Amino acid sequence: MFTVTRMSYKLVLYSLDISPPVRAVKVLARLIGLELEIRDLDMFGGEHLKEPFSKINPERIVPTLDDKGFIVWDSHAICMYLADKYAKDDKLYPKDLQLRARCNQRLFFDAASLFVRLRDCSLHIYQGGKEIPQDKIDPIYAAFDILEAFLSSDPFLVGQNLTIADISVAVTILPLEIYAPLKADKHPKILAWLNRVRQTIPFFDEMNVSLTKEYRDMLMGILEKNKQIA
């Protein structure tokens, strides 16, 4: 389905494996056959706050890509860049202006709605929360309702073909289910779409399921410790 990209050098990806945005970039890179040099950062130990990383990325976030000195971060921006520059065609990131606008909108929805809600719940645990309040869970389900509407007429988020929007959103959905499990009666189109993504990307589960479980176990472990603190 996709052609391997032959290059004389490897792009560098600053990484944290359990990060969903990092995994979205890794899934895309593998899909287009792009080899990456992975540089894992000990973010829990504060490595991302120190040089040399803080010098190349003032936001100090992962994923961050280094393409022979060109630095770009934010998984959505990286996926746009990689698909434009290295994919063999424009199916993953359409050049047609209307399709691209739809793809961008879905990517921005992932960034501003889905991932923000995931981050809010996770930060609540990191900051000592003993449970996830309902007012953080309800917005996740509200976002799921919108995603269900996006999938009302097409098999993928941007028409008939898998795009980088599907990759980004699917990778975010998995950890979101830690807090708000999808329901067959309310989200049938999302569940069918997620299976479609998995079938289209044969290694999707291999790259995501165990790390999502690791992410969940880490969060639940912190939650339990928080509950034990008087």
- The SS3 assignment for 152 reads coil
Report helix, strand or coil for 156: strand
Identify the H or E element spanning 14. strand 11-15
Q: What is the DSSP string of 23-68?
A: HHHHHHHHHTT--EEEEE--TTTTGGGSTTHHHH-TT--S-EEEET
Can 152 be counted among the known catalytic residues?
no
Count how many Cα atoms sit within 13 Å of the Cα of residue 119 in the half-sphere of its side chain. 10
Backbone angles phi, psi at 159, to 5 degrees: 85, -135
Pick the catalytic residue from 19, 75, 113, 122: 19
Alpha-carbon gap, residue 16 to 42, rounded angstroms: 8
Catalytic residues: 19
